[in-house]
Amino acid sequence: MVFSSLPFLFFFMPIFFLLYYIVPFSWKNTLLLVFSLIFYAWGEPIYIILMIITSFINYLAGRLMEKFNNKRKLWMVLSIIISLALLGVYKYGNFIINNLNACFSIAIPNLELSLPIGISFYTFQAISYVVDLYRKEVPVEKSFFRFMTYISMFPQLIAGPIVRYQTIEEELKTRKLNFSLYQDGLLRFMRGLGKKVLLANNIGLLWNMIENCNYPSVLLSWLGIIAFAFQIYFDFSGYSDMGIGMGLMLGFHFNENFNFPYISKSITEFWRRWHMSLSTFFKDYVYIPLGGNRCSKMKNIRNILIVWMLTGIWHGASWNFILWGLYYGIILILEKFILAKWLEKLPAGIKHIYAIILILIGWTIFAFDDIHQLFLYLKNMFFLGKLPFINGNTIYLGKNFLILLVICLLASIPLTNLKQKLKIPKIISNGAIIIFYLFIFIASVAYLVDSSYNPFLYFRF
């Protein structure tokens, strides 16, 4: 089940929130846990067992760290190894086997395992708990059911943001529920639904057309990857908005995950704005423990490359993701040690163009798990594929999707000062906002009723 589906919007969500606001506070976590397990079981019930095992291992590690204080590190390391081993088998097992078979001309059979939805997210959350507990940054959680509620909470279970235990530790025990918070959460949910359904799904159609086009051009190749960049942004940030919104409706304050990444003027800035919970995770649990930047230049470069190789691997079991991670690692190293002083001197517009071009190349690497197709597409983008600069397909698709592209552009930049500049009275602006979000919801539902195209890109991560 996904948030942007009719069963969730008109069956699961209304029933859950009705019961959630009726039952006494002492029952709310139990209700949330039960519905979270139902939500997860909707798609693949067998993998509930895997999530429970991961949760119990890390919960038990926490209790053992509390009881045997002199062996805290041992229990932490063991729980991390087991959690990563489970993630490795299910997510990377077939990738490793296929590469071993190709390298050594052997025939190890593939594992008959599908990728459990959300395993990367809940595994990282469990790891963050035991590491923070080892560092004595959080108290031990003595209730397994409360810990299980934290791990399995359906608003952020399958696509993040990656919520650290310390972020919601107090709110798991006591939290405020009021109409204002519910309203803010509901509007945030509707915003995310519109981004996912109305923008990501529709601009994704343009990317699919161009990706499979028999008569491409240089300009069409760039238009295609721009469409993909918008699709993955609105797809993932829309889902994050829905998760954060439902969190507010439940009384939880999840951390933000996106902050208008396409306004960045460097790749360093881009990764401070894109998937911020993942960047923070790798910074706090990999980069800093390795020594961060408080070491020699060569070790700092090593640390950056390790972090970005792991970032690429986290996104999927394919060589293009490893290449994508190293691509960004190298650019970040160049910016840190060579390009920073030059970038500072450039006009803001030039810096923005620089960042966008590199981001689009990065999305090209990300989009193709077939390395041959990847390099063919890159050749087409850079006049190396013997293609015309523009052709009839370019004009036709450009005209048909022009309005949508403009809307995507406007939706990907902050317009927070617009209300102040227009000097609209508060009562009118608030009413207009509510009407606007109702329109988004109705239009999204109409699209879901009428269309069968409703992919979610981050399911595979």
Q: What span, in angstroms and rounded, lies between the C-alpha atoms of 210 and 427?
A: 45
CA dihedral 76, 80, 86, 90 (to 10 degrees): 160
Largest CA distance in the chain: 72
Q: Which of 370, 396, 352, 361 is nearest to 220 (CA)?
A: 396
Is-contact 160 237, C-beta < 8 A? no
DSSP states of 47-112 as a string? GHHHHHHHHHHHHHHHHHHHH-GGGHHHHHHHHHHHHHHHHHHHHHHHHHHHHHHHHHT--PPPP-
Residue with tokens 């909707």: 42
Q: What are phi and psi of 117, to 5 degrees?
A: -65, 130
Q: What span, in angstroms and rounded, lies between the C-alpha atoms of 381 and 217?
A: 8
Of the residues 253, 315, 352, 372, only one is catalytic, namely 315
- Cα–Cα distances (Å) from 290 to 129, 275, 287, 297, 336, in that order, read 19, 22, 5, 13, 18
How many other β-carbons are positioned within 10 Å of the β-carbon of residue 429? 15
Is-contact 290 262, C-beta < 8 A? no
In single-letter form, the type of residue at position 440 comes to I
Helix count (H) and strand count (E) of the chain?
A: 22, 0
Residue 253 among the catalytic residues: no
SS3 letters across 262-276: HHCCCHHHHHHHCCH
Structure tokens at 435: 């009407």
Query: Catalytic site residues?
Result: 315
